[in-house]
Amino acid sequence: MHKIILIGSNGQVGHELCRTLATLGTIVPVGRSELDLADQSAIRSLVRDVEPDTIVNAAAYTAVDRAELEREMAYLVNANAPAVLAQEAELLGARLIHYSTDYVFDGTKETPYLENDEPNPLNVYGSSKLEGERGILKTDADAVILRTSWVYSAHGKNFVRTILRLAAERDELSVVADQRGAPTSAGLIARVTAELISHQEQSFHRLYHLTSCGATSWYDFARAILRISYGQATPCRVIAVKSEEYPTEATRPTNSVLDCTRIQSEYDLDLPTWDEELRLTLRSTVTEANA
């Protein structure tokens, strides 16, 4: 039976992976309380004890602004840990699937970023994730790296849940309108991950971009969340602001749209548009709440 270690099983992507990967084999879920990703020896011991066929690393240091103040921890989790996992996967002959970010780019390109475009992260989070990619690719592990963006789900801490919570508390929301990207659901990431794992005959060691199709701003994303959730009777107004009016510790790219042609072509995938996937996620949220 295929054995899969799922690291970060209690995160928003991990939650979806637990459900989606269940049909592919035996899942060994590993949450934050079971593994300290800053401890390299603990990572090695876990992998060697379990002896998995596949390692899925859905864990990361994702607090983009706090990473500016906790640089060392961000690098331990986002750079060092993935490299160690790749080394152990190579020793075992196991596969590794790892998730990275659109924030490896600086946002100056006017068209969607390709996998071979030169990274130039603007913040510690993006820099640490880029080093994680490089650490994996330095090994000969059978690994795939999926760069994704603006991840959300019905669970965990994310933009969709924050907007819905704030809309119930306030009459007005100010949302940045000059940053563009592709909102991507944890459910979509999990479904594509399952597809990759099921292609046993295909060698990995590749870097792919994986997001929903299309692009939007945070402002229009927020408006879509409320429109889909409430129809015309939205509970509050959404006001567009510039990034400079909403200062943060970390600088974000103005354009982080990723071109997903490579993974669509190589795996014959039909990726949904961001608003289609948003509707699906919000509908499943309502269904679960009423169950």
Q: Are residues 180 and 257 in contact, defined by beta-carbon separation less than 8 angstroms?
A: yes
| Three-state SS at 212 | coil
- Helices 12-20 and 186-198, interaxial angle, to 10°? 40
* Cα distance between residue 9 and residue 24, in whole Å: 16
Alpha-carbon torsion (232, 220, 111, 79), positive or negative: negative
Give counts: helices (H), strands (E), the chain.
11, 12
* pLDDT given for residue 291 in this prediction: 36
* pLDDT given for residue 231 in this prediction: 84
* pLDDT given for residue 234 in this prediction: 79
* pLDDT given for residue 156 in this prediction: 84
State what percent of residues in the chain have pLDDT above 90: 85
* pLDDT given for residue 201 in this prediction: 58
Query: Do β-strands 180-181 and 216-217 pair in parallel, antiparallel, or remain unpaired?
Result: antiparallel
* pLDDT given for residue 49 in this prediction: 95
* pLDDT given for residue 289 in this prediction: 38
* Cα distance between residue 218 and residue 22, in whole Å: 33
Weakest-pLDDT range from 26-30, 67-71, 150-154, 233-237: 233-237
What residues contact residue 287 under an 8 Å CB cut-off, 6+ apart? none
**Catalytic sites, residue numbers:** 125
DSSP state, residue 77? I
What residues contact residue 46 under an 8 Å CB cut-off, 6+ apart? 5, 30, 35
Alpha helices in the chain (DSSP H): 12-20, 40-50, 64-67, 71-75, 81-92, 124-137, 159-169, 186-198, 218-230, 261-267, 274-290
Mean pLDDT of the chain: 92
* pLDDT given for residue 84 in this prediction: 97
Q: In CATH, which of 3.20.20.70, 3.10.560.10, 3.40.50.720, 3.30.460.10 is domain 3-158+181-214+256-276?
A: 3.40.50.720
Chain segment 191-237, per-residue pLDDT in tens: 999 999 988 655 566 899 999 999 999 999 999 999 999 887 778 89
* Cα distance between residue 153 and residue 277, in whole Å: 10
Domain ranges for the chain: 3-158+181-214+256-276
* pLDDT given for residue 27 in this prediction: 94
* pLDDT given for residue 287 in this prediction: 43
* pLDDT given for residue 179 in this prediction: 96
What residues contact residue 132 under an 8 Å CB cut-off, 6+ apart? 78, 79, 81, 82, 83, 98, 100
**Has residue 288 got a pLDDT over 50?**
no
Q: Model's pTM, two decimal places?
A: 0.93
Chain segment 82-136, per-residue pLDDT in tens: 999 999 999 999 999 999 999 999 999 999 999 999 999 999 999 999 999 999 9
